[in-house]
Amino acid sequence: MQTIKAAVCHAFNEPLVIEDVQLAPPAAGEVEVTLDAVAICHSDISYASGAWGGFLPAVYGHEAAGIVTAVGSSTDGFKVGDAVVVTLIRACGSCPSCSGGQPTICETPYDTVKGPLKTSKGEPLEQAMACGAFAEKVVVSHRQIVKIPENMPKDVASLLSCGVITGVGAAVNAAGLRAGQDVVVIGAGGVGLNAIQGARIAGARRIVAVDMTEEKLSIAKEFGATHGVLATSKAPWKDAYNALGGRGADAVLITVGAIPAYDQAVRYLGRGGKAVMIGMPHSGDTASYEPVILAALGQGLIGSKMGDVVIQRDIPWMIDLYEQGRLKLDELISGRWSLAQINEAIADTKTGSAKRNVIVFDRA
């Protein structure tokens, strides 16, 4: 066991506490990564507010990048010194989902409370989302990490771990967009902007962003939206039809957690269109729709976790897109903060104006 600093949640809706915690060395198949950057995602905030329940105390944080500083046995060639991104996708590699090419819905349970973290007193501490990356170091499965170029800035790279793969993957993998199709993206936040980029990369004809403010719609246009519709309008789907030349969309990507967005999503669809649920509403929230319309118009309603990505395939592809200037990452960062400032960074993210706030570690 070694002692590291982490931001610990002791009670839901209370500030995180920066304190010493214990981290076990990597077991077989695991690596230790010393972090340079971890971004704050709305999922971290939902967990910290108790929206999805879970064990306490816990360490959240799951969009990270750093350097491998120790390896267990059988880590598939990863070695000390490798620059990597760390994701929450702890896939076993051999269950029916993993074998079928869907590691994001791996069926092998992993007990996050019995993971590598303990409090300074040796008591249980949850490694939330199999990451626990609001900390100086993490110990994770080698299947959760992907090598990145050594010279790629880690704050930028950390975004690939969740928001970027979720948004781009939803457009390309889950919606299966083809060139020339029309898309509506509900929400122009961290994931929404990436769904917009994904639709652009997939060759979408028209991309309609739907959000609450003109400011966010104008940011959406910088990321590739061709039209913007205010969600506050009386019937925003009608505005979207107008933007799409009088027809519904081939795909609607719902990137927010608010239930009205789910209730309305199918209204944006054209014949044969698909609504892809990407955002993460609170547990127990329900949405409603008219099944007969979906049946009559041949429409689909599907869920997508983490953009249905295979990180070993998709993250190197996205790094190439970034290096070719076809995927915006630098522009997604709205602020950089220290671990000591994490509660301020979370508060700033909660205002909804932020794209991504990133915690940057000082590795003196």
Residues at the interface with Zn ion (CB under 5 A): 41, 43, 91-92, 95, 98, 106, 108, 162
**The residue type at 36:** D
Angle among Cα 181, 184, 185 to the nearest 5 degrees reads 125
By beta-carbon proximity to Zn ion, the closer residue of 103 and 228 is 103
- CA-to-CA distance for 320 and 169, rounded, in angstroms? 15
Nearer to Zn ion, 35 or 269 (CB): 35
- Closest CB to Zn ion among 174 and 208? 174
CA distance 213 to 242: 19
Beta strands in 245-355 (DSSP E): 249-254, 269-277, 300-303, 333-337
Question: Least separation, in Å, of the C-beta of 90 and Zn ion?
Answer: 9
CB of 137 to Zn ion, least distance (A): 19
Rank residues 159 and 210 by Cβ distance to Zn ion and give the closer one. 159
Would you tell me how many other CB atoms lie within 10 Å of the CB of residue 243? Answer: 20
Contacts of 271 (CB under 8 A, 6+ apart): 248, 297, 298, 299
CB of 185 to Zn ion, least distance (A): 17
Vertex 343, ends 338 and 347: CA angle to 5°? 115
Distance between CA atoms of 205 and 182, rounded to whole angstroms?
5
Q: What is the nearest approach in angstroms of Zn ion to the Cβ of residue 247? A: 33
Instruction: Please tell me the number of Cα atoms within 13 Å of 211 on its side-chain side.
Output: 26
> What residues contact 97, with CB distance under 8 A and at least 6 apart?
91, 103, 105, 106, 107
Least gap, CB of 168 to Zn ion (angstroms): 14
> Cβ of residue 162: shortest distance to Zn ion, in angstroms?
3
Query: Which CB atom, from 63 or from 136, has the smaller least distance to Zn ion?
Result: 63
Which residue lies nearer to Zn ion by CB, 3 or 94? Answer: 94
